[in-house]
Amino acid sequence: MRALVQRVTSASVAVEGETVGACGPGLMILVCAMQGDDEAKAEALAEKILKLRIFRDEAGKTNRSLADVGGGALVVSQFTLAADTSRGNRPGFSAAAPPDLGRALYEHFAGHLAAQGVEVGRGIFGAEMQVALVNDGPMTIWLDL
């Protein structure tokens, strides 16, 4: 599983002009299931993100996790995180999981975060989406499990 995690003050995702998911202070998470991924990897990625110490403490140091601050998350499926640009200028996406598995692992990932008490907004798997966010910091982290 791959994720691009951004600390945000707010984020939202719209489909056909209608907001379908949003979060206030917390994390914007773009997530991609890769070939060979399974539910255990989805859970491990969710746990890693939940515990990432990327929020400021009282002293201003990045020492607190999403769980510590009680932040929310907006989770959006993003198969293009699997892009292979090593040959030419047109990205290949064959490393991404097939759509049925990708959808199941995306839902499992978001569900696992929600089961840990995080308020989770979601995009719509496979839809054309417009994502808006205010990156806080900026703080952006790439995770590959």
Per-residue pLDDT reduced to its tens digit, 62-116: 999 999 999 999 999 999 999 999 999 999 999 999 999 999 999 999 999 999 9
Domain positions in the chain: 2-88+95-138
Residues with catalytic function: 78-80
Task: Give the rounded percent of residues in the chain with a pLDDT score beyond 70.
Answer: 100
φ, ψ at 18 (rounded to 5°):
-110, 130
Domain 2-88+95-138 CATH class label: alpha beta
89 to each of 85, 86, 94, 96, how far by Cα in Å? 6, 8, 15, 18
pTM given for the model = 0.96
